[in-house]
């Protein structure tokens, strides 16, 4: 980890991290809530405080530790699979959890699924490999190609949906193979807001939760960054000099995250409203029900809701193979 007192620290520009500017924020968030410094302070209105460059990393790690303890995300001697993509949020998640291992005494294993996207996947894989080497975290790499699937438009799935479907299908399988108790993902506060808003606009009442209990076939799933704004993960990544791939996936639709602007505007109008809104909305919306899996997949034997699991359904569609005609609806 780089020395935060280094005479030549990484560049830190709070205004650049806070794209909407700082002039609207309350005066008290322009001073560090830990050391009272007014130099290089990032206003964190969601937490009703400011954090300077020196105090931000430890403050972020401590907040994640408190959230994990309060919600019983991890237990002593748990084996935790940290899902890493090569981006800044999962890089921050891995670094934070690696630094918190001594406080919670759990084992961390990083999981990277290589989608085989030319150029991009290799760059992400290199960044993840270097980050895991730096924090002494064992890395498990799974190639999507080994399962004869790829992130491409398939049936009713667009490219991003296919990519997400592959990841969701493989993570539990890897967890069972590696004997992992918990899977941790790097979803942030804004990610949760976006999912909730899409659910509401679609007429659904299910909300993503910070903790999903283990099921008969799936490990426990946790989101340690559930209440962490993206600006903080960006600042943490920048200050600590974490390895990540800065470019976006070539398949990334430019308007995918447009809903995040809604909540940035809400926070400008009413500081701290994002945390309050997310908390109250999460209480009002239901948890996603656990789907029954009464069948064994015809191709791979995985427990499934139908005669084919989603991964094998995708594989057959991508290879032009027939689907079962008697698949239960």
Stated pTM of the model: 0.90
Which segment of 42-56, 207-221, 267-281, 308-322 scores lowest on mean pLDDT? 267-281
Q: Does residue 298 contact residue 308 with C-beta atoms inside 8 Å?
A: yes
The gap between the terminal CA atoms of the chain, to the nearest Å, is 52
Number of helices (H) and strands (E), helices first, in the chain? Answer: 10, 12
> What is the fold, at CATH topology level, of the domain defined by 56-249+258-287?
Rossmann fold (3.40.50)
Strands 211-212 and 295-296: unpaired
For the chain, the domains span: 56-249+258-287, 294-329
Average pLDDT over all residues of the chain: 89
307-315 contacts: CB < 8 A, separation 24 or more? 309/169, 310/165, 310/168, 310/169, 311/147, 311/149, 311/165, 311/166, 311/169, 311/170, 313/155, 314/149, 314/154, 314/155, 314/157, 314/162, 314/165, 314/166, 315/147, 315/148, 315/149
Q: Could you give the C-alpha distances from 87 to 66, 121, 138, 248, 306, in angstroms and in order?
A: 24, 11, 18, 9, 34
Question: What is the per-residue pLDDT for 159?
Answer: 94
- Determine how many CB atoms are found less than 10 A away from the CB of residue 123: 15
Q: Assign 164 a pLDDT band (cuts: 50, 70, 90).
A: very high
Q: What is the pLDDT of residues 262-310, one digit of tens each?
A: 888 888 888 888 888 888 888 888 888 888 899 999 999 999 999 999 9
Q: Does residue 108 contact residue 97 with C-beta atoms inside 8 Å?
A: yes
């Amino acid at each position: 980890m780089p020395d935060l007192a280094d005479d030549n620290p990484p560049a830190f520009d709070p205004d650049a991290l806070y794209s909407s500017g700082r002039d609207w924020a309350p005066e008290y968030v322009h001073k560090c809530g830990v050391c009272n410094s007014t130099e290089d302070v990032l206003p964190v209105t969601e937490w009703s405080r400011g954090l300077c460059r020196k105090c931000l990393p430890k403050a972020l790690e401590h907040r994640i530790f408190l959230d994990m303890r309060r919600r019983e995300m991890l237990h002593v001697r748990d084996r935790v699979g940290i899902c890493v993509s090569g981006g800044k949020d999962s890089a921050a998640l891995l670094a934070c959890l690696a630094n918190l291992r001594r406080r919670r005494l759990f084992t961390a294993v990083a999981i990277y699924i290589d989608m085989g996207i030319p150029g991009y996947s290799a760059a992400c894989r290199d960044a993840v490999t270097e980050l895991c080497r730096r924090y002494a975290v064992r890395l498990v790499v799974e190639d999507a190609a080994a399962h004869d699937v790829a992130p491409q438009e398939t049936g009713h799935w667009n490219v991003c949906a296919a990519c997400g479907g592959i990841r969701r299908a493989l993570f539990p399988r890897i967890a069972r193979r590696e004997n992992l108790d918990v899977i941790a993902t790097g979803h942030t506060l804004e990610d949760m807001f976006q999912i909730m808003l899409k659910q509401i606009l679609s007429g659904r009442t299910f909300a993503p939760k910070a903790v999903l209990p283990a099921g008969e076939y799936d490990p426990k799933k946790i989101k340690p960054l559930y209440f962490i704004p993206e600006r903080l993960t960006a600042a943490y990544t920048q200050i600590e000099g974490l390895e990540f791939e800065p470019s976006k996936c070539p398949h990334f639709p430019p308007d995918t995250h447009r809903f995040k602007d809604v909540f940035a505007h809400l926070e400008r109008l009413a500081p701290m409203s994002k945390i309050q809104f997310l908390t109250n909305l999460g209480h009002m919306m239901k948890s996603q029900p656990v789907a029954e899996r009464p069948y064994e997949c015809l191709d791979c034997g995985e427990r499934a809701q139908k005669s084919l699991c989603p991964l094998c359904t995708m594989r057959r569609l991508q290879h032009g193979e027939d689907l079962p005609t008697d698949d239960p609806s």
